Structure 1
């Protein structure tokens, strides 16, 4: 049965891990949502200073972000606890009780440890630090110590005393705490014993600081041997002498040992310092530990043999523990051990009083899953209690996890609904985007712009049409410059001696001649690459003319600072992929066509030039050397073929001087077909310009432009928040 239970516990732990990872994703999304809502809050605050519509101001103020942010913070805290619970490698049982109830004796019986590791005593409080005791049969008993840092010690240990006792400004550094005397207790608190005892606790931290201060700078964790453990968890030695102060700097100690009951499986016992002392923060630390690090609580209570009852302190302890998890009632994961002592113990025989308290436990509303009467100092009886607890957990922990997780998930769903409601308010807060009068004004202005734009572009196209048969002056100038360069920079050898050297190197006039042909052809052809410049200037001039019409007649200049061909690309970039839902934008396509259109030497002219250079190709030339050539013949032949090639190129290029004008007319006509004449394109212009109306007509829509910008920024912020509030992003349960 125990072996089966051990396997079930291991399976439960393994099944928890995927949930932990999902919860981590939900936490990240919640943080993103909080950030998006903070941005929206800032946007709302700016809007309130810029709008003058009382109705809009009222609607903006009705949006409640602060309550949502508090809810997100609450859910992040709850999810953090749940994630830690599902990430643990063990099922953790917390052992809780007031001082002198036998809690430490119970832990000793369950773990096989002694008073040297788990302090107990008959006088004052002995344990000073929370310890987590892990069962591991594979290692020797040892401890790992986590220390406070100086900063966390100031914030988590000292600050609560200063706040609770109203001692004024908290120390900013450990040196401040060490070098300055403690502020006196306020007069109105001096008459209360409880506050006086709390002040004495703080005085203990102050008076003994130099005995533990060095540990606040130590790295964590520190591994310690078994015989060192007591020095870090206890206040006194085995003789009861108060000589240890290390515990004041210790946040937590982990003890690893081999439990006597080897079949307990993957469990850990969490030992909390006994409550009932007057240290500030003990109850808060108890609640935090139970909420984050514990799967089940084992209360320990030792009735007095002389007579006892459930006191207010017992009820308060239970109530304090019950606040650890609001999503999981404490009665479902808590147990009570009534510590029975015999006549030979210092407490005497309390059997009857154990029965009496067991009978009255329900009347005090201390509701637990099970209760048991057992001698905590007896290993056999203690392990029977542990077996009962583990059996209960093995049978019920999955259902408890589900209940706990479901409560968190339900609250997340409620939070999502609350966020959606506020975002719906936000979407509608600024009212409708356009007023009827504004719509009418836009229609009039758009109609005027459309007439001017179409008229201007059609006029430009007609002008370009009259130039189809004319030579392009930019291209002609570049052609003339290239021909002149060809004539001046021939690549032909400069002297007969140079030819003779080449002949001697190649051992043949013919080989040297053919090599010169290839070199001269390559040299000549590179001079025509500059024709790209003329073609570019020609097309840029035409694009500039189109842009002038778009700016002057179409009023588009305010949409971008770019001009010329870059203007076309900028407008194409601004136009959305779809202006009419479900249809690729014809308008965008038209601007892209004209923006990206290029005239190039390689695409338009190069193939014609290559034909003119055939005479300079050895295999194609008609001018061969004689059977008895010399350097003079080589020189003359090269000059003749070069001149012929240049002549042929000049003649071929002369026939192309009108082509840039023809290409310009064709691309502008194509542009007009796309942006003016295509089906539905006028509707696209209307939609686009309506969105940009405050930029296109700034004087007419100045106030509207500001409202439109603010509205767009606001709605963008709303949609960013809505995107993080999707239902699937908040789900961690299937």
Structure 2
């Protein structure tokens, strides 16, 4: 039974993890959508300030992105909760109850901890910190505490009081909070219990600030021993003295211990002080925790004689918990624990009052999975009647609850996707469809035909020149080759006689020194040829620039970008619609074409360096070698290798010219000669006609540009609003 339950809980947790990853991906995608919509809305505002057409202004004003952004923020918060829930390594049981109801006694019975670690009392809350108690068998009990930083203390603790109690401007630094007296409680709250209790709690933070302020600068988490736990989570000592103030600086505490009931697996109990006690002002923060860190809620209530009933404070506590997670009805993941007392207790046997509350809880609109009557102080009853039943319910239902929770969130995301798509569809049509074709098309056709002829003449002329020159040596490449050869002659890397003698003594042998020098001289020589790469690239870039000049001038594409060379080709390709694949291919082929030393030359000259390899060299040392012999041999081998490399390179001087002709001819084939490519040019230029021929289409120029930029903004938002990007449930 133990292994079975433990394994089931572990399996449930393991199955949650992949979903957490998917939720995180959707969360990131939703943030991208928000960013795209923000940019689109800014663009809309800019157009509204420029548009002089009443209909256009009306269509722009109808686009409502503000509501969508608000919904996105809501869904991001919901996804964060969902991700936290599915990322957890434990199934968590949250325990809620007003002071004196038996909440701490129940936690003690379930965890095996004592009043030293979990304070209990009958009059008010002794626990001051939200604590998570983890089951980890076989370890000695210890705690970890996370302290507030200055920012979190001011934002999460102090600011909410100032806002709720209308105390004016909140302090922005710890020093400001400590130095200045608290503002008086506004008159409209005079005599009201809850605001008064909240004000007193804030005053406790203020009056005792010096007693805990040092902890706000401590590193977190801080590990503490079992004996220290009470000092950080409790408000009083075991004998009731309220002298502890560390808890005011603690954001969260974790207690690790072995539960008496070992049949629990990866389970954690969460003590939730602050819910149900008006003296603690952090109920909203704890509600957020309840919504993302708790799988099952236990409400703890102790019925008292002479007659007890569900009071307004009970209903309010239930409603507070219910509102923490609207996607999952609270009655599906909560139990009511009615703390039964014995006849020997101070209030006697309260069984009849427990039964009375059970019979009336639904009429008071307190709906839970089940009401459980058990003694919170009795170890056996707490574990057998309460914990076992809770764990069994979790194992049977938590997967279905997770699915219901996730589905509710996914349904809202689907609606958000649809709503966004509708607004973006309105945005696509906001600037209309441009001018009627009949009014400008005849002019465009005449201009297009002239551009086509000019572009064809220019590129065919360049290709003809390159054909005549393809067997000629490339001047740029030849200059680079000569420079590399000269560097090889002047900077040989060959050692002096003195250096050879030192190397011989270091290696212990002329032969060893000679063989190592061969490797080094070969590497030194080949390094000089690496500079040929820049010559090849310069030659090719020069050819690309000649093509770009024709495209820019005769093709009039220079009006679209200030880029030059390869960057120009990339820019024009990116401006072309995706469906003009034939035209885009031509630009892509030319822009990505490269000549490199490693691809064109390296393999052709490496063979001539073999004589500088110890196993291949034709010059072996004599039986009685000397430094002079090594020097002469190295000089001879270097000169011979360089001679052969020079001869090989001389045969390659035409390669750049031949490659230039080949790639330009391929480019011309793709963008001028391929079937249907003239139609592609017409489609492309028709869309941007007012920028290509700004004088002829002066009025259209600005409108066309604005419309294209607007549609680009819309397209970015549409891309971010793809259904699969906001879908984490298959």
What's the TM-score, normalizing by structure 1? 0.75
Aligned to 2:615: none
**Structure 2 residue matching 1:584: 3-state secondary structure:** helix
Aligned to 2:141: 141
Aligned to 1:156: 156
CA distance in 1, matches of 2:243, 2:78: 40
- Describe the shift of the 1:290–1:714 C-alpha distance in structure 2 as closer, same or farther (beyond 3 A): same
Aligned to 2:391: 390
Aligned to 1:710: 706
Residues 576 and 588, structure 1, Cα contact 8 Å, conserved in 2: no
**Structure 1 residue matching 2:394: 3-state secondary structure:** helix
Deviates more, 1:137-146 or 1:674-683: 674-683
Report deviation, 1:36: 1.3
CA distance in 1, matches of 2:432, 2:100: 68
Residues 109 and 382, structure 2, Cα contact 8 Å, conserved in 1: yes
- Describe the shift of the 1:333–1:581 C-alpha distance in structure 2 as closer, same or farther (beyond 3 A): closer
Aligned to 2:328: 328
**Structure 2 residue matching 1:372: 3-state secondary structure:** strand
Decide which of 583, 586, 598 is 1:585's aligned counterpart: 583
State how 1:187-198 maps to structure 2 within 5 Å. 187-198=187-198
Report deviation, 1:402: 1.2
What per-residue deviation string (whole Å, max 9, x for no partner) do you get for residues 45-102 of structure 1? 1121222222222112211111111111111111111111111111111111111101
**Structure 1 residue matching 2:118: 3-state secondary structure:** coil
CA distance in 2, matches of 1:363, 1:729: 44
Deviates more, 1:372-381 or 1:704-713: 704-713
CA distance in 2, matches of 1:244, 1:667: 82
What per-residue deviation string (whole Å, max 9, x for no partner) do you get for residues 613-650 of structure 1? xxxxxxxxxxxxxxxxxxxxxxxxxxxxxxxxxxxxxx
**Structure 1 residue matching 2:399: 3-state secondary structure:** helix
Report deviation, 1:717: 1.8
Aligned to 1:512: none
Larger Rg: 1
CA distance in 2, matches of 1:240, 1:572: 77
**Structure 2 residue matching 1:251: 3-state secondary structure:** strand
Residues 461 and 669, structure 1, Cα contact 8 Å, conserved in 2: no
- Describe the shift of the 1:695–1:275 C-alpha distance in structure 2 as closer, same or farther (beyond 3 A): closer
Residues 577 and 585, structure 1, Cα contact 8 Å, conserved in 2: no
Deviates more, 1:275-284 or 1:229-238: 275-284
- Describe the shift of the 1:176–1:686 C-alpha distance in structure 2 as closer, same or farther (beyond 3 A): same
Report deviation, 1:592: 5.0
Unmatched runs of 5 consecutive residues or more in structure 2: 480-531, 602-656
- Describe the shift of the 1:557–1:400 C-alpha distance in structure 2 as closer, same or farther (beyond 3 A): closer
Residues 590 and 671, structure 1, Cα contact 8 Å, conserved in 2: no
Report deviation, 1:387: 0.6
CA distance in 2, matches of 1:73, 1:214: 36
Report deviation, 1:251: 1.0
Residues 568 and 591, structure 1, Cα contact 8 Å, conserved in 2: no
Report deviation, 1:354: 1.0
CA distance in 2, matches of 1:200, 1:190: 13
CA distance in 1, matches of 2:168, 2:581: 70
What per-residue deviation string (whole Å, max 9, x for no partner) do you get for residues 279-331 of structure 1? 46432133112101110001110011211111111111111111111111111
Aligned to 2:642: none
**Structure 2 residue matching 1:352: 3-state secondary structure:** helix
Aligned to 1:249: 249
Aligned length: 619
CA distance in 1, matches of 2:7, 2:665: 80
Residues 580 and 680, structure 2, Cα contact 8 Å, conserved in 1: no
Report deviation, 1:159: 0.7
Aligned to 1:721: 717
**Structure 2 residue matching 1:585: 3-state secondary structure:** helix
Aligned to 2:433: 432
Report deviation, 1:583: 5.9
**Structure 2 residue matching 1:127: 3-state secondary structure:** coil
Unmatched runs of 5 consecutive residues or more in structure 1: 483-528, 604-660
- Describe the shift of the 1:224–1:434 C-alpha distance in structure 2 as closer, same or farther (beyond 3 A): same
- Describe the shift of the 1:581–1:124 C-alpha distance in structure 2 as closer, same or farther (beyond 3 A): closer
CA distance in 2, matches of 1:261, 1:671: 78
What per-residue deviation string (whole Å, max 9, x for no partner) do you get for residues 115-142 of structure 1? 1111111233311111111111121011
- Describe the shift of the 1:199–1:446 C-alpha distance in structure 2 as closer, same or farther (beyond 3 A): same
Aligned to 1:373: 373
**Structure 2 residue matching 1:421: 3-state secondary structure:** helix
CA distance in 2, matches of 1:543, 1:179: 70
What per-residue deviation string (whole Å, max 9, x for no partner) do you get for residues 528-568 of structure 1? x9xx99xx99x98x997x98887776555534558xxx679
Aligned to 1:17: 17
What's the TM-score, normalizing by structure 2? 0.75
Aligned to 1:574: 572
Aligned to 1:520: none
Residue 402 in structure 1 maps to residue 403 in structure 2: yes
Decide which of 666, 679, 683 is 2:679's aligned counterpart: 683
Report deviation, 1:674: 7.4
Residues 96 and 103, structure 1, Cα contact 8 Å, conserved in 2: yes
Report deviation, 1:20: 1.1
Aligned to 1:423: 424
Report deviation, 1:370: 1.2
